[in-house]
Amino acid sequence: MNFTKSAPLSGTIHIPGDKSISHRAVMFGSLALGDTKVTNFLEGADCLSTISCFQKMGVSIENQQGEVIIHGKGLHGLNKPDSILDTGNSGTTTRLISGILAGQTFETTLTGDASIQSRPMGRIITPLSQMGAHITSLHDNGCAPLRIQPGTLHGIHYQSPVASAQVKSCVLLAGLYAQGTTTVTEPALSRNHTELMLRSFGAQITSKENSASIEPNPVLNGQDIAVPGDISSAAYFIAAGLMVPNSEIRICNVGINPTRDGILRVAKSMGADIKLENETTAGGEQTADLIVRSTALCGCTIEGSIIPTLIDEIPIIAVMAAYADGTTIIKDAQELKVKESNRLDIMVHHLSLMGVDIEGTEDGMIIHGGKTLHGAVLDSHLDHRIAMSFAIAGLIADGTTTVERAECVDISYPEFYKDLERLSR
């Protein structure tokens, strides 16, 4: 797909539902008693993988264009699936469901696409095994396919070496089925959607600084969940609105949970003009409309505890840094190497091809911004966030930017190109 310099962006956009929250709504709704009604559900391929896994375990789920109704089976109501569970491209499905499966009385095997089969699962195998789960990487390489056999689980206090909501959530979900309290402490606080939503379903879950604890065997009750717009998807429009000259856009109903809003804090420190209106809170999740106007940006340093709050936005932040005057340093972001693709290497490679002065470091990158970007031919590596980042880079570059295998945006934002075109008309 080709992109060229854009006319000013204007108008209003409603971003699709948050991916992390949509996954969790299906999972927790399946484990609850009664119905869970989810509005503004994200119809991306990843969340559809979660639906299909729970359907295979006997949960009845109706999906009618953005409204999903889950007829919950209770904590102990899942059935053994007839076949292998396919988690597609979704790390969240794979890791969170593993915590649930570890507590079942039946054996399951799960696997996903080539990317999932190369992503590290040792980070969940280790704590689940400490809890008494029987979980094996079938190719003995610490990756999926995973076989999960019934085990008697007991609570642990897990000191996670990574700030990862997928690891934290996996362990907390296994904790629903364990004897005693389960606690996870992380080196920095990752997104807390599991804690907020499980609490609203009735779980006994407490959070303090970088730790969360859960008690076993709650009765979970079905909920109505209005999913906020995904700030990780909004990030592409925030960047485009800031960088394409003379733009002004309103991005409606965006989730601004403080464990996810690092992009806003970084944009502000780069000098961005972003206003928040209509701030509200529902189900513990804050939302707002964002009004974004094009601004000159300057470089900044991004490191430490802010990293988990903007981990999926680093590719588009790197594009903003290439546009910004001065130097941007990104540190402590080694997790980017084990996302849907090696996002560190690919960002450095692709931005270099566009003429950006950028160097990769062990845990991040250094970007000397402010020079005009040049169009280039760039493969998405089937990574949705790489595809969307370079579609936006193409709007401010000279010449034509070609994103190959651009259709992978289906994972988190099927309507992305249509929405982008609408704002640039």
Minimum CB distance to ligand S3P smaller for 289 or for 383: 383
- Is residue 115 involved in binding ligand S3P (CB under 6 A)? no
Number of residues that bind ligand S3P (CB under 6 A): 11
Strand-strand pairing, 285-293 and 248-255: antiparallel
Q: How far is the CB of 198 from ligand S3P (least distance, A)?
A: 13
Q: Which part of the chain contacts ligand S3P (CB under 6 A), choosing from 35-43, 164-172, 241-249, 276-284?
A: 164-172
Minimum CB distance to ligand S3P smaller for 143 or for 373: 143
Among 6, 50, 89, 92, binds ligand S3P (CB under 6 A): 92
Q: Which part of the chain contacts ligand S3P (CB under 6 A), choosing from 7-15, 162-170, 222-230, 249-257?
A: 162-170
How far, CA to CA in Å, does 182 sit from each of 105, 156, 177, 178? Answer: 20, 5, 10, 8
SS3 242: helix
- Is residue 401 involved in binding ligand S3P (CB under 6 A)? no
**Catalytic entry in 312, 379, 383, 410:** 312
- Is residue 335 involved in binding ligand S3P (CB under 6 A)? yes
Asked if 364 and 344 touch (Cβ cutoff 8 Å), the reply is yes
312 is catalytic: yes
Residue ranges in 295-314 that form contacts with ligand S3P under rule CB under 6 A: 311-312
With b for 16 or more beta-carbon neighbours within 10 A and e for fewer, the 160-187 pattern comes to: bebbbbbbbbbbbbbbbbbeebbbbebb
Residue 62 tokens read as 């109706």
Supply φ then ψ for residue 328, to 5 degrees: -115, 130
SS3 342: coil
Minimum CB distance to ligand S3P smaller for 31 or for 376: 31
Burial category of 246 from C-beta neighbours within 10 Å (exposed 0-12, middle 13-18, buried 19 and up): exposed
Minimum CB distance to ligand S3P smaller for 312 or for 419: 312
Angstrom distance (rounded) from CA 201 to CA 112: 29
Question: Could you tell me how far CA 142 lies from the centroid of its own chain?
Answer: 22
Residue 342 tokens read as 């090696």
Sheet holding 285-293, edge to edge: 10-14, 248-255, 285-293, 273-282
- Is residue 90 involved in binding ligand S3P (CB under 6 A)? no
- Is residue 190 involved in binding ligand S3P (CB under 6 A)? yes
Q: How far is the CB of 166 from ligand S3P (least distance, A)?
A: 4
Q: x/- site string to ligand S3P, residues 191 to 230, per CB under 6 A? A: x---------------------------------------
- Is residue 166 involved in binding ligand S3P (CB under 6 A)? yes
Q: How far is the CB of 96 from ligand S3P (least distance, A)?
A: 7
Where do contacts with ligand S3P occur on this chain (CB under 6 A)?
20, 92, 164-166, 169, 190-191, 311-312, 335
